[in-house]
Every structure is written in C-alpha cells, then in structure tokens.
Amino acid sequence: MPSAPIIAATLIVRDEARCIARCLESVAPFVDRMVVVDTGSVDDTVAIAKGCGAEVHRLDWPDDFAAARNHALGLADADWHLVIDADEWIVCGGEALRDWCAGGERLGRACVLSDDGAGATTTRSWITRVLPRGVRFEGRVHEQVASAVPRVRTGLHIGHDGYRAAQLARKRDRNHRLLLAELAGRPGDAYLLYQIAKDADMRGDGAASAEGYAQAVAATPPDAGWRHELVTCAIAALAKAGRLGDAMALAEAEMPRWAESPDFFFVLGDLLLHHAIADPARAVDQWLPLASGAWERAIAIGERPDLEGSVAGRGSHLAQHNLDVVRGQLAMLRVADPPAHQAERRVADGGVHAADLAVAAFADGEAQPAVGDRLAHAYGGRARPQVRRLDRLHLGGAGGAVLQHDAGAKRGERGGVGDAFHLHEIGLGQLELRIGDARLEAAVVGQQQQPFAVAVEPAGGIDAGYVDEA
C-alpha cells in the first residue's frame, strides 16, 4: 500500500510580523512541514515563524519572485507543495487537501478571496497553489507556474488581505519596476500588459490604466483564463477615464461572451451611470433606466464564484443597492415633476414620455426589443423608434431589452466624469444631476445622500491575483 504523500507549505516573506502567525497557524493542521524563506526581514517575522513550528531559511532578495519561490520549493522537496503568502490564510477546504493530493498528478487551483479592507467587496480568483514535486515558477513578477500538467480546481479557499491600502503602499514601486523590466524582455506579452494596467490603476494613474487595459484586451486571446476579469476591469477603467465610447464599444463586443456574467452587467450598469452624468439631458429618460436594466440582469444571473475575478455581491446585494438608489431617485423626480408639468411634457412629446416607458420596461425584465429601441433613442423626453449609426447591446436574452448607442459619436469623450467613481461610494448629490431642470436637483433621503456601490476593479489574475510577497 503506497505511503501517504508528504505535503509542505512554502512561503517567501519579508517583514510580515503583522500576519505570518495567522497564516502558519491556519496551514499547520493540513501539512507535514512549513518552509519559510525570509528575504531580509527587520521585524519579528523570523522569530514568529519559528515559534509557529516553521523551518526558516535566509535568502538575499534576488529581485525575481519566481527565483525566490523556486528556491523555497527546492528546500521543501516534498511530494506536494502548498504555495501560500504570509498575508493569506486557509479559510476552508484544508481538511480535504491530503485526499486531493492522493488523486494523481495535477495542479491544484485554490479560490483566493481578496478583501478590500473596507468590508464592501471580496474578489474571487482561482490561482494555482498546489504543486506536485518538480513543478516550478517563471517570471520575475506575477510569476506563473511553468507546467503543462492539467490544472484542476480544489475545494481549498484562501483568505487574503494584501490589497488593503497600507499593504499595497510598500509594494507598489517595487512591482512597477519589476513589471517594466519583465516587459522589456517580453514586449507585447498580453498578460504583462494586463498586469501593468492593473498596476497603473493601483498607483492612481487612470489614463495609463485605461490605455493599458485597452492594449491588453487587444492582445489577449478570447479564451484566455483571465479575460473575464480583464474585460470588466477595462470597461470600468475606460469609463472612469471618460472614454465612454471606447467602453461602450468594448461592452458591445464582449457581451455575447459574458451573457451569464453578473460582473459584466454590473460594470455595464456603472458605465451607463457615467453616461447619465456626461449626458444629463437624457439621464432620466434613457441612461438611468438602462443602468437599472443592466443591474437587474446581474441580479437575475445571480452570483458566479466560478468566474475568474468575480466580485462577491455583483450578482446580488451590490447590484440591488444601485438599483434601489436609481429607482428611488426616479420616483422622487416624479414627485418633483408635478402633474401639470408632466401634462405639458406629454403634449410636447406627442403623448409619450420615455421615462414612463423605461420604468415599465425594466421593472419586470420583460421588455421587448422594440421598447428597448425606443428607450435608446429617447431624446429630449420623447421616445422615438428610429435607427441611427448604432451598436446594439442586448441586456437580456431573447426578448430582452436592447440598448442602441452611437458609439462613433461618443468615442473618446472626456467630459463629465469625476474621480468619485474610483473605488469609493458616491452620492447622487455629488453628481449634481445637471438634468437641465431645477426640479431635478439631487435627492436627499432622511438627510442622507444615497450612495452607489460602484464598480471595483478586482485584484487578481489567472495565477497571479495577489500582490507578491518578499
């Protein structure tokens, strides 16, 4: 009878006294050895690791994450290796690890749950973390497992808090430098372009981030494992940078592929909200109802933790929150728009008011394409079923609402979008809702402006969704 496989946890660390005990204590029950490679800590990391029962080895930092990880794997030399970082910990699934390792040669992918620190969002990334003997990494930053062995999802779930602001600050410059050095040796590499765009966003360079994501999308194969996360990040970054036409064109092109992604429809809703700010004349009659339709679609799909880079809540409470805020705003605008004014507008518009069509069409998710066409062309308060130079966005399946947008006319827009959308909740009052009517000033409910849960660019990638440790 074959003996049970030996499993070793491997870590590369530096100045992780804050969290290394949490990591090692969560791992210890499920592995036979814990091998820690320290690359120059000046805090109590080494003493804490030894106190938790780990073997600690020193290594001068080689300025190469793959080299450091491979050094740790060589020292461990076990049948199987669990690769984990000090700012991570096993949430669940560790008890099944040994049985999984007895199931034959394969690479194990764990679900890494990255917390943004504010308690608002958790991003899910499936990352290869369980390696059989002999498998190694490549790449000096955002290193990847270099192996043709099949990758299989395990039941292992790992928590991660390294994307909190305080943790990112000390790694930002280092990772940027390493990414540029790696790209110099691999020009045009799609995954590196994606990581460089993400790095630019983390550094607060919105223009570089948007352009980087656009380049990465163009270079990335349709079946790439990280494309779902890349596309949602790109739409959000382009919208934030004011490139609304580019964002809409990308959403149109990618919608057939992500018809069952709540993340896609969540960021589409946020993109339409950006349009409402940039085009206030049509905010009430067109953009806000269409944003509501996108969020309703996200809720109808529900949560999809299986999708790479999915954000918990985009198929449930985050989308519902945005939907409730917009519905409340539209309802208050109706109150602010007395019957006399409504009558005047209906007369001027030939008896049809697009806002009424919009709410009816999107309230139950059963809008017909013709209704969507009329909503998309609502202009000046009137719904007009006409065809222009358009790109069609199907918010639902058969019979679902259709958004048609003049992407060519909007391409390259810059105006009207502020920084308030980036990783923060925003209040309707901050938008100043320039609808062109004093009656449509921002609503205040119970003396509190209602915030949106805006798109969050999730951390993570195919196998490098974490910020590297050293």
- Tens digit of each residue's pLDDT, the chain (470 residues): 467 899 999 999 999 999 999 999 999 999 999 999 999 999 999 999 999 999 999 999 998 999 999 999 999 999 999 999 999 999 999 999 999 999 989 999 999 998 866 556 788 889 999 999 999 999 887 788 999 999 999 999 999 987 655 556 556 666 777 777 777 777 888 888 988 898 888 888 999 999 999 999 999 999 888 899 999 999 999 999 999 999 999 999 999 999 999 999 999 999 999 999 899 888 888 899 999 999 999 999 999 999 988 999 999 999 999 999 998 888 877 666 555 455 444 434 444 333 333 333 333 333 332 223 333 333 233 332 222 222 334 444 332 333 333 322 222 332 222 222 222 333 333 333 333 332 233 333 223 333 444 433 333 334 544 434 44
Q: Judge whether 459 lies within some domain.
A: no
Range of the structural domain that residue 67 is part of: 7-166
Residue 436 is predicted with a pLDDT of 31
386 and 269: one domain?
Answer: yes
CATH code of 44's domain: 3.90.550.10
In a domain, 79, yes or no: yes
437 in a structural domain: yes
Q: Does any domain span residue 176?
A: no
Say whether both 157 and 24 belong to one domain.
yes
Assigned domain for 156 exists: yes
Residue 155: inside a domain = yes
Final residue before a domain boundary, out of 131, 166, 201: 166
Q: What is the pLDDT of residue 18?
A: 95
Phi-psi sector, 110: left (phi>0), alpha (psi -120 to 50), beta: beta
**CA-only gyration radius of the chain, Å:** 25
Residue given tokens 């409340």 in the structure block: 328
Indicate whether 154 and 262 sit together in one domain: no
Q: Are 359 and 267 found together in one domain?
A: yes
158 and 275 co-located in one domain: no
> Sign of torsion, CA 457 405 269 399?
negative
Does residue 154 share a domain with residue 22? yes
In 3D space, the residue among 60, 55, 59 whose CA is nearest the CA of residue 33 turns out to be: 55
Q: Given 141, 166, 191, which residue is the final one in a domain?
A: 166
- Does one domain contain both 155 and 253? no
State the Cα–Cα distance between residues 300 and 293, nearest whole angstrom.
10
Q: Which of these three, 113, 139, 166, is where a domain ends?
A: 166
Query: 148 with 256, same domain?
Result: no
User: What's the number of domains the chain is made of?
Assistant: 2
Residue at 118: amino acid letter: A
- Confirm whether 190 is domain-assigned: no
Instruction: Indicate if 268 and 407 belong to the same structural domain.
Output: yes
Q: Is residue 126 part of a domain?
A: yes
End-to-end Cα spacing for the chain: 40
